Chain A
């Protein structure tokens, strides 16, 4: 098992490096000049050259990458071209807000998906199964940014129960009474997709397990439904964990749409600003942090597998 964990850890290193390269290059395939955001179109050539030198944009690409990576490893992602502020601190604040939102959404979505999928799997073929399956199809088919608008229309504009925008006072989200109402709508909207995916997965896994011989044997042995459920849950856990674990990463990466709808001050909001102001350091930094988070999450899910699935410990 230790060999597996070491192997998996070593494998994550080149992937993480390649991700930094892609995040760096993606921004450099962008057409137009990186300095458009701050330099006026009629700026004299010397000014532009001086600015380029200041931001290190006059050096060859591999050198720029090396310097950027070196500084990024020390936690310095440069300064935002548009605002002049440190990218690291802006990204860290935004990541906190996005992580709160995605975390709450992932918990809601995964729990709802497990319950729905579990019931559907047990009642395979019945009307409960059909309803659960239908809900899951809606979950994976609904454009969640539109659902967010619809929920805003219903619960904020018509009923006036919940705030429509922002993360609450002081711009950031914390777990307290004043901030709690702000997360309800965005988190529910975001939770719809993982709920749909989890319902599908759990249902398929449960149906599969219940059809196996050992369940028949347990029944024949006289075990009650509750004890059998424990066996089913144990067998379903590795697959469900693998799917559920990655949902948090997908939610964080995909939060840009929900954050735009609800004006949530997270990484999606930052990405949006960076893209439309052509703020390269900010775009690179945000991309990098989000992707490395996803790589790390993948790694954690893989490492957790042998702890949950005893069959994997032997290899």
Chain B
């Protein structure tokens, strides 16, 4: 009896419940997670500093002074010291966030778009199309990701664009595989069948019924890739395959400061510390988003 009463009262309470939809619940859970919030705040700070670098940086990132090379941390006029060409480290670290963040995030965003499209097509169409797509991607799975990135950017030559291309190619197969497996699962569910019976075309079904179920898991998976991508991207620059000097970029700065570890180890370690902080924040943020989006827990 009480069940029936409850059922009868739902239409009245529906507007109130709608405001507590899935996403607002996710947001509320995120706002109660101090670690995730702290990481988001640090990342936002680094991002803002990078975007507004010309306004806040104390010096010119390219202008150095030969007599003020490798000044220690806290030297007069140089809060974080100077690099091997006498350029202000703080300035270069702030500017370095631009390319480092771009190289860490953009390939994952591109791979998210491309991989989801390919994966949903492969999963929804199924059959021979699925087999051809997935077996082709298996070939890329036969390459360890660092090796694939190094090989592609090594073949294409150093430079930001080649590096972005190489990293995107590394992550597309991984995202595709997740998207494909989720789509294949969703496709067999009854409501897809129902939508098909009601006369919806494949494009309509993919857009209305499939994507909503696939995007979540793929998004969670992709956020976890950002930290990997940051480390890989800076690694490519560290090898001399990414951004070219004199651009400020954390991986490249780590590379050019390497000989200085004997004279001024603390300054030489700074760019790597920036990569570390950013990548650990992305990792913890991804973990936070994952557990906030997992309603079962």
Given the known inter-chain contacts A140-B227, A143-B234, please indicate yes or no for A153 contacting B269, CB distance below 8 A: yes
**With A142-B276, A153-B265: A22-B144 Cβ-Cβ less than 8 Å:** no
* B156 CB-CB contact with A under 8 Å: yes
Stretch at the interface among A2-10, A27-35, A116-124, A178-186: A27-35
List residues 146-162 of chain A with CB under 8 A from any CB of chain B: 146-147, 149-150, 152-153, 157-158
Residue contact A291 to B276, C-beta cutoff 8 Å: no
Which one, A48-56, A62-70, A87-95, A251-259, is touching chain B? A251-259
B280 contacts partner chain A, Cβ-Cβ < 8 Å: yes
1/0 contact string of B145-176 vs chain A (CB within 8 Å): 11110111011110000000000000000000
Q: Which of A141, A153, A294 has the most CB of B within 10 A?
A: A141
B184 within 8 A of A: no
Q: Which residue of A lies closest to B235 (CB)?
A: A257
A19 within 8 Å of B (CB atoms): yes
Report the bound CA distance from A27 to B150 in whole Å: 12
How many residues from A make CB contacts under 8 Å with B?
49
Query: B241 touches which one: A16, A157, A275 (CB < 8 A)?
Result: A275
Residues of chain B within 8 A (CB-CB) of A31 are: 156-157
Q: Are B273 and A146 in contact (CB under 8 A)?
A: yes
Q: Which of B120-151 contact A (CB under 8 A)?
A: 135, 138-140, 142-148, 150-151
Are B147 and A15 in contact, CB atoms less than 8 angstroms apart? no
Q: How far is the CA of A257 from the CA of B152 in the complex (A)?
A: 15
Sorting the interface of chain B by its residue count into under 10, 10 to 19, 20 to 34 or 35 or more gives 35 or more
A252 B234 Cβ-Cβ under 8 A? no
B272 within 8 A of A: yes
* Neighbouring B residues of A265 by C-beta, 8 Å: none
Interface class of chain A by DSSP: helix
B254 at the interface (CB under 8 A from A): yes
With contacts defined as CB atoms under 8 Å apart, how many contacts are there between chain A and chain B in the complex? 132
9 CB < 8 A contacts A-B: A18-B142, A26-B151, A32-B157, A141-B231, A142-B279, A150-B272, A254-B146, A283-B151, A295-B142
Interface positions of B (Cβ within 8 A of A): 135, 138-140, 142-148, 150-152, 154-157, 227-228, 231, 234-235, 238-241, 251, 254, 258, 261-262, 265, 268-269, 271-273, 275-276, 279-280, 282-284, 287
Nearest 6 Cβ contacts at the A-B interface: A253-B144, A146-B272, A254-B146, A253-B147, A275-B154, A141-B280
Apart from the given pairs A140-B228, A294-B143, 20 other A-B contacts in the complex at a CB distance below 8 Å: A19-B143, A30-B155, A32-B157, A137-B284, A140-B283, A141-B227, A141-B280, A145-B254, A146-B269, A146-B275, A147-B272, A149-B268, A149-B272, A152-B261, A153-B265, A250-B146, A276-B240, A283-B154, A290-B144, A294-B144
Name A residues whose Cβ lies closer than 8 Å to a Cβ of B: 14-16, 18-19, 22-23, 26-27, 29-32, 137-138, 140-147, 149-150, 152-153, 157-158, 249-250, 252-254, 256-257, 260, 271-272, 274-276, 283, 287, 290-291, 294-295, 298
